[in-house]
Each structure stands twice: as structure tokens, then as C-alpha cells.
Structure 1
């Protein structure tokens, strides 16, 4: 069982921290990126000057969904004698994080536009790329293939040397003014009438 004496933290400080924890507001736990979730939680810890492992451990434990808590039940049934929060954090990240190989598979085969904006899709794909240092040209081709054909055709027609972020912003604008209700996997004839299709020039005018 962990104790405040182990950390050299007084009971008065513990009581103060426990009160401060009641003022913390953090987003729900997300398995999509547990590391970022912990970053958000620890920002709140620093803002409230909460330093004790004794305070952090039960707070985070109380925020975990039951299915996640059950995966670290060994650290719940037998609370570590030292650094319980750090050990809990490490175990949660290790258990819930997607492997690099799985991220690559999702990037190449499973990542779709869905209800995301083009910019959101690009950010998600960069996140999935993770440690794989793909150049923007490679990532651009994967990203373009996930967009509706009409949007892809407009972007490819650009004579301007736009970077990937600028192209994503442009794609967002196209999707706002173009009724692209067709799933990105459906083929659209490249020779169809484009009279009503916006051009790069009109979007940048």
C-alpha cells in the first residue's frame, strides 16, 4: 500500500491537493491516444500544483472506463508501494496504445474521410504515420485517394505549388461548396461535364 510518507508529502498537503482535484475538469479518457489524454490531465495537475502520486493515482483511476480499469486490475488490487500514478500511467499507455505496425495498417488500408474534414483527415493520417518518417509527397498521394473524386480532380488541376496543409485547407473549401455526397470509393467519370465544378482559381480569388 502506498503512503504519503513514502513521498515525503505531509497530510496537510495531501488534503489541499484532494480539494484542488475537485476543481479539475478533464476530457473523458480516450483509447485513440492515451498519451495525449495523460498530457491533458497533467497540464491540469500542474495548474493546480498537484504533485503527489498519492493524489494523482486515485484521481486518474476514477476517470478510467471499466473495461480499461479491468486491464490494469493488478495495479488496483495491489497498489504499488512507490510511484503508483507513474506505474498506472505506464501500464495504461502500454495496454491501450496501438502498435506502430497497426498504425501503419490503418494509414494504408483503413483510414477514410467519413464525416471528417479534409484537414482533420490529414492530421489523423499524420498521427497514424507516427515514427514512420514519410515524406509529404507519399502522404499526399494516400490522402488524395481518400477524398471524393471531384475534390481530387480539382486539387490535381492546380498549377500552384501548394504544400500539403494548404491543399487540405483548399479541399475543405471545396467540400463546403460542392455537393460531394458520393462516397470517396465510388468512381466518377473524369470526362464528365465540369461546368459547375469550382476551380482552384475561383477558390483563391
Structure 2
């Protein structure tokens, strides 16, 4: 199985024209490809990578996320890219990406009720998928198994 494509960032300079002078210089750091189907999971994954690399700066995290977002997603948070927030830029872009790109609870429930078929999934995989689509809706597991 081929490994997924990754975004690679090369060392950022601390030149005077660089607005992110507090960005940690890193020789090479790879972020996983943006997960449009589940932005929350993507952010959880990159936050684990940030923690493992000791990256705590909001500016550093923001710079990596900004560079890793696909054009379509970046366009949805263009206001935060064009005008970088002075305080908590990473937290703000994270919230905006999740809010503006996540499928609404109603849409997930609609998908759950209309488009869940076994396809080539094992029953346990289908159940896990159905629970993910259910999102914040608390559906009885027995009901999901009957579906």
C-alpha cells in the first residue's frame, strides 16, 4: 500500500521581512495531507505531531497549517489568511477550518439514513462508519445494528 502524500516544509528564515520571526526553524517537517472528510481528525493528528516536535508557538502552527491547506479549503478561510490574527492565529484558523468545512450534523444524519450500505465493508466497519456519521446525535447502538 502506498503511503499518503505529505506536505514538506523546509526551514523558515528569521529575516526582517518575515512576519513570523517566532516561527521555529525546522530542517524538515511533514504534515499529513489535509483530511477534507474529517478536519477534526486531521487537526488532532497534526497537533500530536506538533507536540512530538515541541512546536508550541501559535505562529509556527499557523504557518504550517496555512501551508498545508488545499486551495479550496484555504479559500474558505481566506479572511484569516489575508489578515493573520494578531492573537491566537492557530486556534482561530483551526476553529474556522473546522466550522467552515465540516459537514453539518443534519447532513451527516441524512447520509446515515440514506446512504449506508455494506458495500465491501465488514459489519464492524459499517457500524463504526454509521457512528461517525451520527456525530453528536446519540443513537442507540442496537438501533444502528438493526439498520
Shorter-chain TM-score bucket reads: 0.7 to 0.9
Partner of residue 127, structure 1: 132
Partner of residue 50, structure 1: 55
Conserved 8 A contact 2:105-2:135: yes
Aligned-pair CA distance for 1:111: 2.1
Asked if residue 71 in structure 1 is aligned to residue 76 in structure 2, the reply is yes
Partner of residue 26, structure 2: 19
Aligned-pair CA distance for 1:131: 1.6
Asked if residue 82 in structure 1 is aligned to residue 87 in structure 2, the reply is yes
CA distance in 2, matches of 1:117, 1:140: 12
If you compute each CA radius of gyration, which structure gives the higher value, 1 or 2? Answer: 1
Aligned-pair CA distance for 1:33: 1.0
Greater fraction strand: 2
Runs of 4+ in 1 over 3 A off after TM superposition: none
Task: State the TM-score, normalized to the length of structure 2.
Answer: 0.80
5+ residue gaps, structure 1? 5-10, 143-205
5+ residue gaps, structure 2? 1-18
Q: CA RMSD in A?
A: 1.7
CA distance in 2, matches of 1:138, 1:120: 16
Greater fraction helix: 1
Q: Deviations over 1:47-100 (max 9, x none)?
A: 111010111111011111110001111111111111111110000000111111
